[in-house]
Chains A and B, each alone.
Chain A
C-alpha cells in the first residue's frame, strides 16, 4: 500500500497525514501540487490547511493544480481519494464531491474534539478545526445523496458546531471511492495526542484500494 499526500502552498496538515498513513500501514509520500504524475500511488490523501491562503474561497485555487488533474483521473479510474478539511473543500470545488463548505455559522474558527457517526452507526471521536466547515447542498441534492447512501459521516447529536445541513460532516461520491470530511482523522491515530478512532477512516480507504 502506497499513500500519496498532496502538498499545496499553504497546506498545514500534510506531515500529520503522512504520519497517520504510516501508522495505519504502508508507505506514504508527499506529492507536490505541480506534479502531473502521481507516481503510481494506491490512494490519495488531500490534507488540511489553507491552500493558497484560502483567499478566494477555500479550495478554489488548489483545484486547478496539475496534481489535481491527476487526482481526477485517479478517481475516475476508481482509485481511492480522501479529502480532509481543506482537502474536502478542494474536492467539492473540483466537482469530485457534491456540495460546498461555507463559513461556520458562528463566524469563528472552532477547534475541539467532536463525535461523528459513520455509515454503520459507529461513533468516532475525532477533532474538528476549521472556520469554513458548514456543509451545504440544495435540498434536492441532499435528498438524492441520502437516498444513494452518500452521506459518509454525520456529527452526533450536539456535536454539529458549524451549522452543517443535516449534520453532515463528510460525503462520498456515487461510486464511493472519493470521500471527504471536515473532521481530522489524521489527528486521531495516536492515544498520546488524542483518540485512535481516526484510523478507521484511513482503514476504510485502504479497503477500497485493495
Chain B
C-alpha cells in the first residue's frame, strides 16, 4: 500500500470523500478501523462493480435453460436428464502481474471454489491469457509463471484444463491478463444457493487457516493501477494450496450430498467480509462473527486483518445447530478445518465480535448494497491510441506472409502450453486441446455432451468495441457449431482500463452493448460474469478485452468434427457469410497498419450458418470443420492441413469475384467463415462453395497475382515454432 501519511485513512483505502461521507451518513457516525476496512473493500470496484453495474443491466440473462443466473457464485444451465452445467470465468490479472505463478494458481483455485460452492463438481478449466509480445523477457517470464501456476493447481487437484487461448500484444506488456473459466457438473436438484437463512443457525468456516495473505488485495491489488513499486506488493500475494482445496472440494460435495448445509459460499476477494456480507444480503438476515474463533496461521492478527484476509482454500457454510457435529465429522475425515465462528441473526446487521466485545457493527444493506453506482463519462478517441510496430515488410510475398502469420505467437500452436496441463483426468475429454475448435466433454450421466469455447480478441475490440465484441461472441458460437453444439449460455470477463477516463469508459460502454446485441441475436443468455477494470500500464490502457466463454450442448459426443482435414481426396468447402477485411487483422498488426474501424457483422446470417454447420456435423456429413479466424482463410486452410499432415489446393477466385482483393481473400479476417471438408456432394448440398481438395505435401492457394505455394513441412515448422521461443524463459526481468 502506498503510504502518504498525511492522506486521510479512507482515501488511503481507496474511498472518495463523498463515499466516506455516505458511509458516515448510513452508519450515523464515523466508522471505526474495522468497519472502514470492510467498507473500503466491499465498496471497491472489484466487489461493488460501481462503474459497470449499470451497464451490465443491458445484458439478456433469461432463457428456458437457465438454472442459475447472475448473482450466484456461478451461472448454470440445464443439460437435460436432471443435470445442470455450471460455469463462470473470473480474472486474476493484477495478482498475476505481480507474481505470475501464485497469481494464476490462485486464480484457478478461486474459480473452482465458485463452482463447487453451488454444489457442482468441477469437470474442466479453460484459460484466457494475454501477455506483451513474446520477444519481451517480461512476457516470457509471465507466460512461464502463469502456465506453471495454472498447471500446478489444476493438475494437482485433478480437474482437466481442456482448452483456452493466448494472445501476445504490446498493450498487455505491463498488465497481463489471466482469466480462468471453470465448468462444473451437478444434479440440478442438489445445487445450493449462497443465501444465508435460519436465524440461530451456525456460521462455519471450513478449510485452511487464516493468515495475512492478500490483505488489502481487493482494494489495492485489484482496483488500483499498477505502476512503480510493484515489488512492495509482493508480500500480499496469496499462496495457493491445491491439496487443501482438493480436500475441501471433496468435503463440501460430500456435505452437500448428505444435505448437511443450508448454504455455502466461497471466500474470494475481501475474504470473510464479502462472503459473510453477501450471504446475509442474499438471505435478508444478519450475521455475527467472532474473530476470536477464526483459526489463525499467524498470532496477533487484528480483527480487521481477520475480516479482510484473502487466505485461500476457505469456504463459509450456514449449518443448522443440530448438524454441526456431523459437519465436523466429515471435515475431520477429509482432514480439513471446520470452525463455528458465528451465527445467523435477525438484525440485518453484520456484527464483528472479538470474544465478548463488539468491534464492528454495520447494516448489511449499507455494506453490501450501499455503494453508489456511477455513470461513465465516455468519449470516443479521435484516432488509434495504441502503438503500431512493423514486423513484416509490405513487400513480403504471399508465401512469406503466410509463414509469418503461422508463426505469430497469437496464432501458432500452443502445444507447448497445453502439454503442461492435464487435459484428460475425469475421463470426459472427447477432444483434447487443439484437436477441435471447441473442447468437448462427455456427460455419460446425462447421455449427451457439452462443448466449451473461450475467446476475446482485444485488438479487434480496440478497433471498434461494439463490433469487436460481437465478433468475440460469434467466434465462440462458430467454434461450438464446428463440433455440433448448440449454445446454451454465456459467461464473460470484462477486462478494461480505467473507467474513470473517457476512452476506456467508451470502450466499456460500447463493448457491453455489443455483447448484449450479439447475445440477443443468438438467443444466448448471459448467466454470469466478472469485471476487471483499471488494467493499465505506464503507456495507457490495455486493449479492451471482453473474454467470452460459451457452453453448448451436443447430443452425441461421438459425432463431433475435428478441425483438421481427415483424408486425401476430400473436397474443401468455404461456407458462411464471410466478407474478409484487413481491419484489425493479424496482418495489419504485423505491417504496423492498425487503425480505428471494424465492419459490422451480420449476426443473423452468421447464426444461420452456425445452425447449418451444427446440423451437418451432428448428422455426420462433414469430415472436418474449422472456423476462419485470426490470419484469415489461408491460415485456416494451413491449420487444417498441418493438423492432418495433409496438403491442400484451393482457389479463392470466388471471394475475389465478391470484391475482395487477393490479399483480403488470403489473409483478411471477419466472422462467418467456415472451412469444411468431406464429400463434394455433401458440401454442395449444404450450400458450401467447393474451393479445393485435400492432399499432397504443399499448401497451394490460387489468388491471382498473390497466389502461393508453401511446403507442408515449412508451414508445420512455422506453426510449431512457439515451443522453442517460449522456452527461453529463466529469470524475471530486473524491473519486474
A interface list, Cβ under 8 A from B: 9-13, 15-16, 19, 48-50, 52-55, 108-112, 127, 129, 131, 184, 186-187, 190, 192-194
Contact = CB atoms under 8 A, between A and B. Distances in A.
A13 B418 CA distance: 19
Interface residues of B, number: 32
Interface in B354-408: none
A10 B420 contact: no
Which 7 A-B pairs have CB atoms at the shortest separation, nearest pair first?
A: A12-B158, A53-B243, A50-B156, A16-B427, A129-B422, A187-B424, A109-B420
A18 to B, nearest CB: 10
A108 B156 CA distance: 13
Contact of B428 (A50, A131, A193): A193
A52 B243 contact: yes
A129 B425 contact: yes
Q: Which of B241, B418, B423, B557 has the most CB of A within 10 A?
A: B423
A151 to B, nearest CB: 26
A184 to B, nearest CB: 8
Given A48-B425, A52-B243, A111-B155, 8 more contacts: A9-B246, A16-B425, A55-B243, A109-B155, A109-B421, A111-B424, A193-B428, A193-B429
A112 B426 CA distance: 15
Nearest to A191: B558
A10 B243 contact: yes
B423 A50 contact: no
B158 A9 contact: no
17 contacts: A9-B243, A9-B250, A10-B247, A12-B156, A13-B425, A16-B425, A16-B426, A50-B156, A50-B246, A53-B156, A109-B155, A111-B421, A111-B423, A129-B422, A192-B430, A193-B429, A193-B430
B247 A109 contact: no
Contacts of B506: none
Given A50-B243, A109-B420, A111-B421, A192 B156 contact: no
A129 B191 CA distance: 32
B205 to A, nearest CB: 20
B480 interface: no
B226 interface: no
B346 to A, nearest CB: 39
B501 to A, nearest CB: 40
Instruction: Pick from B151, B155, B423, B558 the residue with the most CB of A within 10 Å.
Output: B155
B610 interface: no
A112 B558 CA distance: 21
Contact of B424 (A11, A55, A110, A193): A193
A186 B424 CA distance: 10
Contact of B427 (A10, A11, A108, A190): A190
Q: A15, A19, A111, A127 — which one has the most chain B CB atoms within 10 A of its CB?
A: A111
A53 B557 CA distance: 33
Given A193-B427, A193-B430, A13 B241 contact: no
A54 B442 CA distance: 29
A10 B156 contact: yes
Contacts of B425: 12-13, 16, 48, 129, 187
Greatest chain A CB density within 10 A among B158, B241, B244 is at: B158
Contacts of A19: 427
A127 B424 contact: yes
Contact of B151 (A48, A53, A109): A109
Most buried by A among B152, B241, B424: B424
A190 B557 CA distance: 12
Contacts of B728: none
Nearest to A18: B427
A10 B247 CA distance: 7
B16 interface: no
A10 B241 CA distance: 11
A110 B242 CA distance: 18
A128 B516 CA distance: 43
A188 to B, nearest CB: 9
Interface of B: 148, 151-152, 155-158, 241-244, 246-247, 250, 334-335, 418-430, 442, 557-558
A201 B171 CA distance: 51
A184 B424 CA distance: 10
Contacts of B558: 192
Contacts of A15: 426-427
B450 to A, nearest CB: 14
B246 A10 contact: yes
A129 B155 contact: yes
B433 to A, nearest CB: 9
* B335, B418, B422, B442, most chain A CB atoms within 10 A: B422
B430 A131 contact: no
Contacts of B419: 108, 110-112
Nearest to B160: A111
B241 A111 contact: no
A64 to B, nearest CB: 14
A192 B554 CA distance: 14
Contacts of B418: 111
A53 B241 contact: yes
B557 A131 contact: no
A179 B714 CA distance: 43
Contacts of B243: 9-10, 50, 52-55
B424 A129 contact: yes
A109 B250 CA distance: 24
A180 to B, nearest CB: 19
Nearest to A108: B420
A9 B158 CA distance: 12
A129 B161 CA distance: 12
Contacts of A111: 155, 418-424
A49 B158 contact: yes
B422 A109 contact: yes
**Interface centre among B156, B421, B426, B427, by most A CB within 10 Å?**
B427
A192 B442 contact: yes
Contacts of B157: 12, 50
Contacts of B429: 193
Nearest to B558: A192
Contacts of B442: 192-193
A110 B427 contact: no
Contacts of A184: 424
Contacts of A52: 243
A54 B425 CA distance: 17
Nearest to A9: B247
A29 to B, nearest CB: 17
B418 to A, nearest CB: 8
A15 B243 CA distance: 17
Nearest to A129: B422
A52 to B, nearest CB: 7
A50 B246 CA distance: 10
Contacts of B158: 11-13, 49-50
Nearest to B560: A192
B420 A110 contact: yes
Given A192-B557, A193-B442, A50 B422 contact: no
A208 B427 CA distance: 26
A193 B424 CA distance: 8
A131 B155 contact: yes
Contacts of B244: 53
A69 to B, nearest CB: 19
B668 to A, nearest CB: 35
A13 B247 CA distance: 14
Contacts of B155: 50, 109, 111, 129, 131
B564 to A, nearest CB: 16
Nearest to A49: B158
- Chain A CB within 10 Å — which of B152, B242, B243 has the most? B243
A55 B156 CA distance: 11
Contacts of A194: 424
